[in-house]
Structure 1
Amino acid sequence: MRFLSAALSLTLLVATCTANAAPLPTPRQVDIPAAASLTLHAQLYKPDGDGPFPTVIALHGCGGLSGQSEPVQPRYRDWAEQLLKTGHAVLLPDSYGSRELGPQCQVKERRVLARRERVADINATRQWLLQQSWAARDRISLIGWANGASAVLWAVRPQSLLRSAEPDFRSAIAFYPDCRISSGLGWSTRVPTLLLIGAKDDVSSPSACRQVVEGARGRSALARIVVYPGAAHDFDRANLPLRAITGTDAALPERGHIGTDAEARKDSQQQVTEWLAR
């Protein structure tokens, strides 16, 4: 009888905790005026209240922002949930859908470039945020994955500063960007920038990213890199078994390996939390 009573109490406790757990709110689409008469559609996750909230502009990878039946893919929704827990608003501009384009992973299909259109999207989003009363003007940061991370690296270069948009970004985080072009250009950053990449990433280039960060020392704002020894591309995605890319999925890179690395995923969540709290 005692066992049944204890079991019932435990069941009620789990049910109560589940009921009290705050679900991730549905994102709200916002429209941002951008260059060349483009209206940039973005998905906004915002804590309850009037703010002002620290805000993260989150940049999707080459597969795009949305899923087949949802405005935000699970991988980005997962990160939005993590960031909301730390009190951040999260704004995800859709660089491809806003231009009525699909995935841009295949080189022959790439019409939106990280160093050009996506930097313009970042700057338009930042200017829009500076006009919002709920956004803390001095705590707007960047985070990006893969192609979106490459755009982050371009956007924080001193040459990309828009004098009309003040204050500047608070900080930036780039998950497994393609550093190969930046490594040959003498990259530096004007805001604290964190790179996170797996040592076994054969889609991007860990060695080029090391070169980018090491080359910026002494002539740049703080730049730091974390290389996870056993991790491949997309290591922070949940429940993604390690596998080789076959080249048949237009929403994936053309070659290499992708997959979750549980330890790297957990550590990267902590790294992001600490970097944004700076």
Structure 2
Amino acid sequence: MSRFLALLAFLTTAGAHPEHVRIPGPGGTQLDAALVRPAGPVTGSAVVALHGCSGPYPARDGNWAVALAQAGHPVLLPDSFGSRGLGSQCRVRHRSVTPSGLRRQDAIAAGEWLAAHPDLAKNGVALIGWSNGGGTVLATANAAADPPEGLFRRFVAFYPGCATRARDPAWAPSAPLLVLVGEADDWVPAPPCRTLAARYPDRITLVTYPGAYHDFDAANARVRVLHGLATPPSGSGQAHAGTNPAAREDALRRVPAFLDATP
């Protein structure tokens, strides 16, 4: 079963009633996406949610979609990899679908699709992403890259790779940005994110979690060591990932409050 189908199955089992939609993407690509609507009225911004380098991850992306929908947010989860016939990219060093390239274009296409549906986006559109998807959030938020004006009202990046943006003096967030990262993350370390947050304290809210690794907000994922990864800064190909219950609980409170805040 593909990761996208696994996501649909998870959401169905969770009672979220997902809809499989196809969104016109860059270069004529049709992006497969899961749409989760709130059971009640839409009271929050619509959310585009971007998966990490492994593709859709039900224990994390799916659980967040359910939680956000319960809080009144429609959630759209596009599959950037499966829609192009690609599997997990975590062990691929030279990738054709990158945060600053096609993934950024996918995020914009998904945001524009939501914005074209006033019943979903009457309160605006926000962009959330995890890891590689978090890096895509940073690329999409970049005011220097001429983002579509006013498309995204808020950005949330979970454990993004901040190093490239921290080295770029032209990078600046185009809207309020919340960054959440574990202090023990050895895949995408926190210090470059601290550099970014210090540069734009009026636009970036940085939350770091002591003892938390990558994927700290996934549900019931035991902490384990991943091998053969392409991007850990240690060069070993290894990094820890897994749930940190305290960090996850805080994020589940913090993110909806951030999305609901007035600009």
User: TM class, shorter-chain normalised?
Assistant: 0.7 to 0.9
Q: Decide whether aligned partners of structure 1 residues 160 and 151 sit closer, same or farther in structure 2, where only a CA change above 3 A counts.
A: same
1:95 Cα shift?
0.2
Identity of aligned residues (%): 37
Equivalence for 1:15? none
Question: Residues 80-105 of structure 1, C-alpha deviation per residue, up to 9 Å, x if partnerless?
Answer: 11101110000001000111111111
Asked if 1:158 corresponds to 2:143, the answer is yes
Aligned to 1:9: none
Match for residue 38 of structure 1 among 29, 35, 45: 29
Paired position in structure 2 for 1:94: 79
For the structure 1 residues 50 and 275, does the alpha-carbon distance in structure 2 shift closer, same or farther, using more than 3 Å as the test?
A: closer
Superimposed CA distance per residue, residues 99-158 of structure 1 (whole angstroms, 9 cap, x where no aligned partner): 111111123352210111100001111111121132224421011100000000010111
1:228-269 alpha-carbon deviations (Å, 9 max, x no partner): 0111111111112222213389xxx94211121110010011
Amino acid at match of 1:191: A
TM, length-normalised to structure 2: 0.86
Aligned counterpart, 1:257: 240
Q: Residue type matched to 2:216 in 1?
A: F
Does the Cα contact within 8 Å between 2:50 and 2:133 map onto a contact in 1? yes
TM-score relative to the length of structure 1: 0.81
Task: Give the structure with higher Rg (CA).
Answer: 1
Counterpart AA for 1:92: L
Whole-angstrom CA distance in 1 between matches of 2:104 and 2:123: 20
- Aligned CA RMSD, in angstroms, stands at 2.2
- Separation in 2 of the partners of 1:273 and 1:159? 27
Q: In the alignment, which of 217, 237, 243 is matched to residue 236 of structure 1?
A: 217
Question: Displacement, 1:74?
Answer: 2.8
SS for the counterpart of 1:31 is strand
Displacement of 1:42: 0.7
1:1-278 matches, within 5 Å, as 23-48=14-39, 51=42, 54-65=45-56, 73-108=58-93, 110-163=95-148, 167-186=150-169, 187-217=171-201, 222-247=203-228, 254-278=237-261
Separation in structure 2 between the aligned mates of residue 146 and residue 245 of structure 1, nearest angstrom: 14
- Opposite residue 240 of structure 1, the aligned amino acid is A
8 A Cα contact 1:235 1:264, kept in partner: yes
Give, in whole Å, the separation in 2 of the partners of 1:152 and 1:248: 21
User: Could you list the runs of 5+ residues in structure 1 that have no partner in the other structure?
Assistant: 1-21, 67-72
Question: How far apart are residue 216 of structure 1 and its match?
Answer: 2.6
In structure 2, the CA distance between the partners of 1:196 and 1:51, relative to structure 1 (3 Å rule), is closer
Structure 2 unaligned residues grouped into runs of 5+: 1-12, 231-235
Q: d(CA) in 2 for partners of 1:254 and 1:141?
A: 33
Q: CA deviation digits over 1:2-55, x for unaligned, max 9? A: xxxxxxxxxxxxxxxxxxxx9532311111112211111111001246758621
Q: Is the 8 A contact 2:99 2:133 kept in 1?
A: yes
Give the 3 Å change call, closer, same or farther, for CA 180–248 of structure 1 in structure 2: closer
Q: Which residue of 1 aligns with 2:5?
A: none
- The answer to whether the 8 A contact 1:142-1:169 is kept is yes
Question: Does 203-212 or 125-134 show the bigger shift?
Answer: 125-134
- In the aligned structure 2, how far is the partner of 1:25 from the partner of 1:44? 9
Instruction: For residue 181 of structure 1, give the secondary structure of its aligned residue in structure 2.
Output: helix
8 Å CA contact 2:50–2:129 kept in 1: the answer is yes
Q: 1:185 & 1:162 partners in 2: Cα distance?
A: 17
Q: Distance in 1 between matches of 2:112 and 2:240?
A: 37
Distance in 2, matches of 1:124 and 1:101, equals 19
Q: Distance in 2 between matches of 1:27 and 1:226?
A: 31
In the TM superposition, what is the alpha-carbon distance from 1:162 to its structure 2 partner? 4.0
Measure the CA separation in 2 of the matches of 1:88 and 1:248.
Answer: 33
